[in-house]
Amino acid sequence: MIVEKIMKSEVYTLSPNNTVEEALRLMEEKRIRHLPILNEQNNVVGIVSDRDLRSIVPSAIRENVSKEEREKPLSVLMNKEVVTGHPLDFVEDISGIFYEYKIGCLPIVQQEKLVGIVTKTDVLRTFVQLAGANQPSSQIEIKVKNIAGKLSDVTAVFRNRNVNILSVLVYPDDNELYKILVFRIGTMNPTTIIQDLKKEGYDVLWPNILGKEL
């Protein structure tokens, strides 16, 4: 899935000359936690988070903060090293950016202009949907040999039972000769399909409570 499918196109922004008070007011009104800062050419030159603002104007003592502090321009506290993405980036790739840079949001830029924004929550929600974890389902983990065609062989067992596969994840085993297939299937009772998989000789890792046969 590409970023364009999940980004918010309506982005609230301010300029470097706007004040801390204006940023706080906008965040509270729109219930947002990040504000891209744009110059006169609509280029992203910084970003401000609610945490940045609270370091200057703590909410608990906001009324007692001096006018000078409230009217500080955003240029003095905004993060100028802004990491950005592109609408055609893959969601899987930008998730790595969130992890590497420990950021809460990613401005999306096309031809040097801001076109959207993606938050860490947007990415998490997307992965939940891609994995099918938001639907009534069961998860099955199977250890198979790391050879071409194994995924097709295993899915044939599901097809024979007319079981709908909601998602498939593949990750390496500790032994490079094997890999782990993680299926999320559209049934709340996977007992029959697990029995079929075991009859075909597949090593079902989960569910297999305490190693007992299902």
Q: What is the pLDDT of residues 107-146, one digit of tens each?
A: 999 999 999 999 999 999 999 998 988 999 999 999 999 9
- The pLDDT of 76-83, averaged and rounded, is 95
Domain ranges (residues) in the chain: 3-127, 135-206
CATH architecture of 3-127: Roll (3.10)
> What does the DSSP 8-state code read for residue 146?
S
- The pLDDT of 31-59, averaged and rounded, is 91
- The pLDDT of 40-45, averaged and rounded, is 94
pLDDT for 210 beyond 70: no
pLDDT for 213 beyond 80: no
Confidence of residue 39 (pLDDT cuts 50, 70, 90): very high
pLDDT by residue (tens digit) across 173-187? 999 999 999 999 999
The yes/no answer on whether domain 135-206 falls in CATH 3.30.2130.10 is yes
Long-range CB contacts (within 8 A, 24+) of 184-189: 184/131, 184/132, 184/133, 184/137, 184/138, 184/139, 185/137, 185/138, 185/139, 185/140, 185/158, 186/132, 186/135, 186/136, 186/137, 187/137, 187/138, 187/163, 188/136, 188/137, 188/138, 189/138
pLDDT at 57: 79
| Poorest-pLDDT segment among 55-69, 89-103, 137-151, 153-167 | 55-69
pLDDT at 211: 47
- The pLDDT of 86-101, averaged and rounded, is 96
